[in-house]
Amino acid sequence: MNIIEGIRSVRQRPHTLLVGILIVAGACSGGATTTQVPTPSVETTTAVATTLSIATITPPTITAVATTLPIATTTPLTTATPTVDPAEDPFFWNAAQLTRSDGSRLPSCGHEFAFTAPVVDAADVQNVMFHPGGHVTPHEHMAYWSTGEPTNPSGLRRSKQVQLTAPADAFVVDLGWERRRSEEEGPYLEWGANLTFCDGHTAMLGHVGQPTDELLRILEAGVLRESMSGDPGCNLGGEEAAAVGEGCRRNIEAFVPAGTALFHSSGISGGFDFGLSLVGLTVDELVEHPSYGFSIMPWRSASGRAVCPLEYFPEPWKSDYLGLLASNRCGPFNQDVPETAMGLWFPSPSLDRPPPPWEPQPNEEFESIWLFAYHDDSSKHELTVPDDSFGLEYGNFVIATQGEGTVNRRWDEVVTGDAYCAELLRADSAFSHESTPSAIALLELSTDGRSLTIEGFDRTECPDGLDFDVRARTFHR
How many residues are present in the chain? 477
> How many CA within 13 A on the CB side of residue 97?
15
How far, in Å, CA of 203 to CA of 194, rounded?
Answer: 6
d(CA 215, CA 68): 47
| pLDDT of the residue at 353 | 76
What is the DSSP-derived secondary structure letter of residue 104? P
Residue spans per domain, the chain: 3-345, 379-476
Cα 28 to chain centroid distance, Å, stands at 10
Give the number of other Cβ atoms within 10 Å of residue 270's Cβ: 21
Specify the pLDDT at position 7: 52
pLDDT of residue 40: 36
Instruction: Give the C-alpha separation, 374 to 377, whole Å.
Output: 6
State how far the Cα of 146 lies from the Cα of 267, in Å rounded to an integer.
10
- Look at residue 176 and give its three-state secondary structure: strand
Question: What are the C-alpha distances in Å from 26 to residues 177, 248, 301?
Answer: 13, 16, 11
List the pLDDT tens digit at each of the 477 positions of the chain. Answer: 445 445 544 444 333 322 222 223 333 433 333 333 433 333 333 333 333 222 222 333 323 333 333 333 333 333 333 344 444 445 788 888 778 888 899 999 998 999 999 999 999 999 999 999 989 999 999 999 999 998 777 778 889 999 999 999 999 999 999 999 887 778 899 999 999 999 999 999 999 999 999 999 999 999 999 999 988 889 999 999 999 999 999 999 999 999 999 999 999 989 999 999 999 999 999 999 989 999 999 988 999 999 999 999 999 999 999 999 999 999 999 999 999 999 999 999 877 776 666 666 678 899 999 999 999 999 999 999 998 889 999 999 999 999 999 999 999 999 999 999 999 999 999 999 999 999 999 999 999 999 999 999 999 999 999 999 999 999 999
pLDDT attached to residue 84: 42
Please answer whether residues 370 and 293 qualify as being in contact, where contact means their C-beta atoms are separated by less than 8 angstroms: no
What local confidence, expressed as pLDDT, does residue 23 receive? 29
Q: Which pLDDT score, from 0 to 100, does residue 200 have? A: 95
